[in-house]
Structure 1
Amino acid sequence: MAAYDLYGVKDISIIVAKLNVEELLGVSFEERESAYQGGVYYRFDGEGGEGFVLKENIDPFDGEAVEQLFSEYPVLLYVDKTTRSDEIGDFLNIKFCLLRHELFD
C-alpha cells in the first residue's frame, strides 16, 4: 500500500524547511515555479513514483490557506506514493507535524 502524507511546520521559512528535509531524509529538492503551486516550490522525485512537494500554504489567487484545516502551518510538505511512511515520519517528526495520513492500494 502507498501512503500519501501531509506534514506542516511552523516558525521556519520554506528555505529552512527545505534544508531540514534535505538533511533529515538525504534528498535533494529541485526548485520549480508554478501558479498552481503558489509560485516557487520545491520538488523531489524518488524511486517507484514516490514524490515530495514542499510549498507555502497560501493560495495565490485568493490569499487563503491551501489547506484550510491546517491554516496555522505556513509551510507544507506533501509526501506522495510512499511505501516508507513510518520511516519518513520517524525522521521528520523532529521538526514537522504529521497533519494527514492516507493509504491507497
Structure 2
Amino acid sequence: MAAYDLYGFKGASIFEAKSKIEGKLNISFEGRDSSYQGGVYYKFGEKESEVFIVKRNIDPFDGEPVEKMFSDYPVLLYVDVTLRSEEIKSFLGTEFNLLRHEFFD
C-alpha cells in the first residue's frame, strides 16, 4: 500500500531544502511556478508514481500556513505514492521531520 508522507524543514530557504533533498535522495527537482502552490516550488516524479514536492508553508491567498498544524516549519516536503517511506526517512536524516504518515487506497 502506498504512503503519503509530509516532512517539515526548519531552514527558511526553499532552495536550501531542495538542494539537501537532491543530495540525500540522488534526485533532481524541476522548478515550477504556480499560484496554487504558493509561487515557486520544486517537483520530482509524475502522476501515478512516487512524487516529491518541496514548497513554502504559506497560502498565497490568505498568507496563513498551508499546514496550520505545522506552522513552525517554513518549508514542506510532500512525498506521495511511495512504497519506501522508511528508506526515505532514513536518507533525509534529522534535518527533515516526519510530520504526517498516511495510507490511502
1:90 alignment partner in structure 2: 90
Give 1:92 deviation, angstroms.
Answer: 1.1
Pairing 1:1-12 to 2, within 5 Å after superposition: 1-12=1-12
Pairing 1:10-89 to 2, within 5 Å after superposition: 10-45=10-45, 49-89=49-89
2:101 alignment partner in structure 1: 101
Unaligned runs of 5+ in 1: none
Could you tell me which amino acid in structure 2 is paired with residue 13 of structure 1?
A: S
The ranges of structure 1 where at least 4 consecutive aligned residues each deviate by more than 6 angstroms after the TM superposition are: none
Give 1:11 deviation, angstroms.
Answer: 2.5
* Aligned counterparts of 1:92 and 1:3: Cα–Cα separation in 2: 16
If the length of structure 1 is used for normalisation, what is the TM-score? Answer: 0.95
CA RMSD of aligned residues (A): 1.4
* Aligned counterparts of 2:97 and 2:81: Cα–Cα separation in 1: 19
* Aligned counterparts of 2:56 and 2:70: Cα–Cα separation in 1: 12
If the length of structure 2 is used for normalisation, what is the TM-score? Answer: 0.95
Could you tell me which amino acid in structure 2 is paired with residue 65 of structure 1?
A: P
Contact 2:42 2:54 in 1 (8 A): yes
* Aligned counterparts of 2:57 and 2:102: Cα–Cα separation in 1: 19
Give 1:99 deviation, angstroms.
Answer: 0.2
Query: What does the per-residue CA deviation read over 1:21-72, in whole Å, with 9 as the maximum and x for residues that have no partner?
Result: 0000000000000010000000000696100000000001000000000000
* Aligned counterparts of 1:66 and 1:47: Cα–Cα separation in 2: 22
Unaligned runs of 5+ in 2: none
Query: What does the per-residue CA deviation read over 1:71-102, in whole Å, with 9 as the maximum and x for residues that have no partner?
Result: 00000000000000000000113310000000
Distance 1:46 1:85, change over 3 A: farther
SS of 1:90's equivalent in the other structure is: helix
